Chains A and B, each alone.
Chain A
Amino acid sequence: MLTYIVRRLVTAALILLGASFLVYLLTAASGDPLAELRASNAPNREQLMEARSNLLDLDTPAPIRYFKWLAGASQCLIPFAGTCDLGRNTANQPITDALGHALVQTLTLVTAATVLAILVGITLGIITALRQYSTLDYGVTFMAFLFFSLPIFWVAVLLKEFGAIGFNNFLRNPEIPLPAAIGIGGVLGIVAAIVAGGDTRRRVLTGGIVFAVVTALLIYFSVTLWFKTPGLGPVVIAIAGVGLAYAVTLLTAGLKNRKALQSALIAVGVGVVAYFAIQPLLNQATFLMIVLLAIATVLVGVAIGYFVGGYDRGQSMRAAALTSFLVGFLILLDRFMQAWPTYFDNSRVRGRPIATIGATTPNIEGDFWVLSLDSFTHLILPTSALILISLAGYTRFTRASMLEIMNMDYIRTARAKGLSERTVVMRHAFRNALIPIATIVAFDIGALIGGAVITERVFSVRGMGFLFFDGIEHVDPNPVMGVFVCVAITAMAFNLIADLAYSALDPRVRVKA
């Protein structure tokens, strides 16, 4: 095991050396770094060119410059010495600083998108695998192929046009005309009927209920101008909480486990009480406080499950913890909605909240809620574009993996010994189907930092992709090398982690020592 890891690390280091040498030479050969200055007619042109040549050290041939760069970069290997030197970019900013900023930007952009895409993709994959060759399966498969074929820059422009400009126009006067409300309700009703499954009666019933509820809700929103002053309120939180409690119990323990259902419902009750108790505290919220509250919520849920007990304490604890976490999320959502009018009328936002470019509104001021809403409205478009594009892969992969598992002998054994379908799917099949998915996820997290060159460009986010492209445009190897080294190291590390995780999760697979 140890020999294997050491061998992998040594090869990785050698590959990194070779590839970085190639990348440096390629970048240096990719153009004339003085081209833009040559074309300018500034009076001090010669001086500028002189300065740029000195800055980029153009008198030295590229292979030798690479070794100079390597000497600086190798100091990064000494921990805590602070002597890390990756060179400077054409604006004379140290690359290490620029990388720090870019990394934060990229991670905020990509993390939410990846996590959501993984969650939704795996869920869809499992559902389609369980209902192979149904209308739902064909529909999702077609959508997966369609999304897989979409160029991201095209999706991004469409989202900007309809998601941002269109929605902002709608918010100016948030009234939904009756035909539109019925139309949206109808579409969602049909989707619900397809998703519901079962016999025709059940499908029609589900579709009908969803159609009626959605249409009524939209009319209510339109009449009360809900989108101007959105909010949930304790009643909606309580109703939604009870629904969540049932759903969570159904998935984690099964509705037959009364103790688990009880603890989930108690968690909802505690949540509604906490809703009133916590409002003054939330007015002075900080990010750290929200994190602490989230942890506290989960702990309270675990405690509820523990005290309710029952023949299987673990299941009650799991159900209660999940439910209380979700109810806590609803309370948070409600508080964000309360802050919405303040944000909407902010002098910097001027009633057009959904932004098309950048990562924050310049010079915006406000409390935690307003600032969070601001980054949320900036992130929503790039995040949805990224989710659409990466969803397809996870869905197809999970479906294939789940189908293979469902045909295994041990699944038949589990059914034969009389386990409920829920236990078979959630405990026996799902967990095993996750093994190959775990490796894919590890690969993707490794590729996260490489981020999204095109998405960042379309939405003008100054992240890693921006830095990389900037380096290529200025024929400046330093930013390119900085990004490349970060991306390559994380990618290789996560490749190794993926391989180790696979052998840890699946004992049949051994790593070669």
Chain B
Amino acid sequence: MAEQASLKHPPAAGIEPIIEAKGLSQGQIVRKRFLGHAGAIVGLIVFALILVAAFSSVGYAGIPGWWKYDHEEVSPLVNDGVPTASLFPLAWGEHPFGQDRIGRDLFAMTMRGAQQSITIMVVIGLIAGLIGVIVGALSGYFRGWVEAILMRLTDVIIIIPALLLAAVMGQIAGNRDDGNWLSAFTSNNAVLALGIFLGLVSWVGLARLMRGEFLSLREREFVDAARISGASNARIIFKHILPNAVGVLIVNVTLTMSAAILTETALSYLGVGVKSPDTSLGLLISQNQEAFSTRPWLFWYPGVFIVLICLSINFIGDGLRDAFDPRQKKFNAKKAKDTGAPMAPEKTPVAAMDGTAADGSAAGGTRGA
């Protein structure tokens, strides 16, 4: 009776109406919160637009795109390569982003670069997520010597610089005539190989986080209940614990991915990532930074695309974090102070920043450098 009465009261000042009370499932609550996050929605739309434009315009894996040039094609310079796209009047023109010194179309090159960045990002996210979950789950769940070995392995990998691994990969990719399958694969799919190599080193931060989650979740009652009812270890890990840790996982995979884009562009800039004649956003900037005073557009467009992709991913990650964190309530300090309502708990720094802090080290120090 008392409960019903309190339900009829207007919600406490400063706290949004509690949507959990409406009997929604966990997925519905998360979706609702995510869709209510303006930044995340804008980020999602921007990222979707870039994704579609990048993959449909110059084509992918042999499928032709709608854009008339490709990133290696040289065409005669139009108006010394000045961009033809303009807002007033709204026009697209022959070379919307302009051309470089020898007449390659910058729009095609930028789109190709964005493709590469997104591919690498997804590959890193998948590999790092998979390895991170497995290592973190095993060491957090079984503890003992499994944990000792896996965590020492993580410690070793965390201090090996990503730059070095990229250089090694570049070397393997260069030995085309070696005839072994590894060099053949890396030289034919340089971008994919770079993503795989980087993924193999960026799982460490995730593994530590997942281990922490598993350490605390394995002590909970529902795990005991599952064990008593005869569930196997694998079932407890995948069916009982993992779904409870999926929020942390998704958020941090997103953040790993946004750090991965910067790692890839930085490595390409240093000349150990994607190599010419193929192109990438970092490589474009590295090739054209000397021409900043004469052809500034060659520098602006690739850079803006890096920032846009990375920013939209970061906003999506922020939205996901808000959506998944059950302690998070929209809370307005001013309103609460005015009416003297009890304060709602805020997100903890662990949930808020651990992902990014871990990614800094996961990227092997390339980020922030």
A interface residues (Cβ-Cβ under 8 A, vs B): 11, 14-15, 18-19, 22-23, 26-27, 29-31, 132-133, 145-146, 148-154, 157, 161, 389-390, 393, 396-397, 400-401, 403-404, 406-407, 412, 436, 440, 443, 447, 450-455, 457, 465, 468-469, 472, 480, 484, 487-488, 491-492
How far apart sit A148 and B355, CA to CA, in the bound complex (Å)? 13
Given known A22-B160, A397-B357, A468-B163, contact A454–B269 (CB-CB < 8 A): yes
Given known A407-B346, A436-B349, A468-B163, contact A151–B262 (CB-CB < 8 A): yes
A149 adjacent to B314 (CB under 8 Å): yes
Given known A151-B303, A403-B347, A454-B270, contact A440–B357 (CB-CB < 8 A): yes
Q: How close is A95's CB to chain B, nearest CB, in angstroms?
A: 17
Q: How close is A457's CB to chain B, nearest CB, in angstroms?
A: 7
The one of B164, B310, B318, B369 in contact with A451, judged by C-beta atoms closer than 8 angstroms, is B369
A27 adjacent to B163 (CB under 8 Å): no
How far apart sit A457 and B159, CA to CA, in the bound complex (Å)? 21
Residues from chain A with a CB closer than 8 A to the CB of B314 are 145, 148-149
Residues from chain B with a CB closer than 8 A to the CB of A436 are 349
B interface residues (Cβ-Cβ under 8 A, vs A): 152, 155-156, 159-161, 163-165, 167-168, 170-171, 174, 258, 262, 265-266, 269-270, 272, 282, 285-286, 289, 292-293, 299, 303, 306-307, 310-311, 314-315, 318, 331-333, 343-349, 352-353, 356-357, 360-361, 365-366, 368-369
B152 adjacent to A15 (CB under 8 Å): yes
Given known A453-B369, A455-B369, contact A152–B266 (CB-CB < 8 A): yes
B163 adjacent to A15 (CB under 8 Å): no
Closest 4 CB pairs of A and B: A149-B310, A400-B352, A400-B349, A149-B311
Minimum CB distance partner of B332 in chain A: A133
Most buried by B among A146, A149, A484: A149
B269 adjacent to A407 (CB under 8 Å): no
B332 adjacent to A23 (CB under 8 Å): no
Minimum CB distance partner of A492 in chain B: B159
B164 adjacent to A447 (CB under 8 Å): no
A31 adjacent to B167 (CB under 8 Å): yes
Would you list 29 pairs from A and B whose C-beta atoms are within 8 A, ordered by A residue?
Answer: A23-B161, A29-B168, A132-B332, A149-B262, A149-B307, A149-B314, A151-B282, A151-B303, A153-B282, A157-B299, A393-B353, A393-B356, A393-B360, A397-B352, A400-B349, A404-B347, A406-B346, A436-B349, A447-B368, A450-B161, A452-B368, A454-B270, A454-B366, A454-B369, A469-B163, A472-B272, A484-B159, A491-B159, A492-B159
How far apart sit A510 and B212, CA to CA, in the bound complex (Å)? 17
A26 adjacent to B360 (CB under 8 Å): no
Given known A151-B282, A401-B349, contact A15–B159 (CB-CB < 8 A): yes
Q: How close is B161's CB to chain A, nearest CB, in angstroms?
A: 7
The one of B174, B299, B315, B346 in contact with A145, judged by C-beta atoms closer than 8 angstroms, is B315
Q: How close is B336's CB to chain A, nearest CB, in angstroms?
A: 10
How far apart sit A469 and B152, CA to CA, in the bound complex (Å)? 27
Residues from chain B with a CB closer than 8 A to the CB of A454 are 266, 269-270, 366, 369
- The B interface is mostly helix, strand or loop, or mixed, namely helix
Q: How close is A420's CB to chain B, nearest CB, in angstroms?
A: 15
Residues from chain A with a CB closer than 8 A to the CB of B160 are 19, 22-23, 26
A447 adjacent to B365 (CB under 8 Å): yes
B163 adjacent to A19 (CB under 8 Å): no
The one of A26, A407, A443, A469 in contact with B343, judged by C-beta atoms closer than 8 angstroms, is A407
Q: How close is A191's CB to chain B, nearest CB, in angstroms?
A: 21
A407 adjacent to B262 (CB under 8 Å): no
Given known A11-B152, A389-B368, contact A30–B352 (CB-CB < 8 A): no
How far apart sit A30 and B169, CA to CA, in the bound complex (Å)? 7
Minimum CB distance partner of B346 in chain A: A403
Q: How close is A176's CB to chain B, nearest CB, in angstroms?
A: 23
Given known A22-B156, A26-B160, A396-B353, contact A151–B265 (CB-CB < 8 A): yes
New A-B pairs, 17, CB < 8 Å, besides A154-B307, A401-B349, A457-B270: A18-B152, A133-B333, A145-B311, A146-B311, A151-B265, A152-B369, A153-B285, A154-B306, A161-B293, A397-B352, A406-B346, A407-B346, A436-B349, A453-B366, A480-B164, A484-B159, A487-B159
B270 adjacent to A15 (CB under 8 Å): no
Residues from chain B with a CB closer than 8 A to the CB of A401 are 349
Residues from chain A with a CB closer than 8 A to the CB of B165 are 26
B168 adjacent to A26 (CB under 8 Å): yes
How far apart sit A258 and B90, CA to CA, in the bound complex (Å)? 65
Residues from chain A with a CB closer than 8 A to the CB of B262 are 149, 151
Given known A152-B266, A484-B161, contact A132–B352 (CB-CB < 8 A): no
Residues from chain B with a CB closer than 8 A to the CB of A484 are 159, 161
Q: How close is A110's CB to chain B, nearest CB, in angstroms?
A: 10
Residues from chain B with a CB closer than 8 A to the CB of A152 are 266, 368-369
Residues from chain B with a CB closer than 8 A to the CB of A455 are 369
Residues from chain A with a CB closer than 8 A to the CB of B333 are 132-133, 406
Residues from chain B with a CB closer than 8 A to the CB of A150 are 307
Residues from chain B with a CB closer than 8 A to the CB of A29 are 168, 171
B156 adjacent to A15 (CB under 8 Å): yes
The one of A11, A30, A450 in contact with B168, judged by C-beta atoms closer than 8 angstroms, is A30
B164 adjacent to A27 (CB under 8 Å): yes
A472 adjacent to B155 (CB under 8 Å): no
Minimum CB distance partner of A149 in chain B: B310
How far apart sit A389 and B165, CA to CA, in the bound complex (Å)? 24
Residues from chain B with a CB closer than 8 A to the CB of A23 are 160-161, 164
A396 adjacent to B356 (CB under 8 Å): yes
A404 adjacent to B346 (CB under 8 Å): yes
Q: How close is B175's CB to chain A, nearest CB, in angstroms?
A: 9
Minimum CB distance partner of B155 in chain A: A15
How far apart sit A452 and B360, CA to CA, in the bound complex (Å)? 13
A396 adjacent to B352 (CB under 8 Å): yes
How far apart sit A454 and B356, CA to CA, in the bound complex (Å)? 20
A154 adjacent to B161 (CB under 8 Å): no
Residues from chain B with a CB closer than 8 A to the CB of A447 are 360-361, 365, 368
